[in-house]
Chains A and B, each alone.
Chain A
Amino acid sequence: MVENEDRIEIELPVEKEFARLLRLMISGIASRMNFNLDAVDDLKIAVEEAYLMAMGRKVTGPLKVAFTIHADRLQIDLKGKVAAGASSDKAPENFGNFILDAVVDEMQADQTSGEFGLRLTKYV
Chain B
Amino acid sequence: MPEHGQNRSLVWDRAKTYELFARYRAGNDPAIRDDLVRMYINLVEYLARRFKSRGEPLDDLIQVGTIGLIKAIDRFDTGREVEFTTYATPTIVGELKRYFRDKGWAIRVPRRLQELNLQVNQVTSDLTQELRRTPTINEIAAKVGVTPEEVIEAMETSEAYNFISLDGDLSSESGENFSLLEYIGEDDKHLAGLEDRASLAAALKDLTSQEQKILYLRFFRGLTQTEIATELDISQMHVSRLLRRTLQILRQKMLLNED
Contacts and interface: CB of A to CB of B under 8 A. Distances in A.
B257 interface: yes
A72 interface: no
B136 A98 contact: no
A89 B138 CA distance: 40
A123 to B, nearest CB: 14
Interface in B162-217: 190, 193-195, 199
A86 B141 CA distance: 45
B133 A95 contact: no
Contact of B251 (A24, A27, A37, A92): A92
- Choose among A20, A41, A45, A98 the residue with the greatest number of B CB atoms under 10 Å from its CB: A41
A38 interface: yes
B195 A90 contact: yes
A27 B152 contact: yes
B195 A91 contact: yes
Chain B contact residues, majority secondary structure: helix
Given A98-B193, A98-B194, A92 B136 contact: no
A40 interface: yes
Interface stretch (A28-36, A59-67, A76-84): A28-36
A34 B124 CA distance: 15
Given A91-B257, A98-B219, 18 more contacts: A27-B137, A28-B149, A28-B152, A31-B137, A37-B135, A37-B140, A37-B225, A38-B224, A40-B137, A41-B240, A45-B243, A45-B247, A90-B258, A94-B193, A95-B194, A97-B193, A102-B218, A102-B219
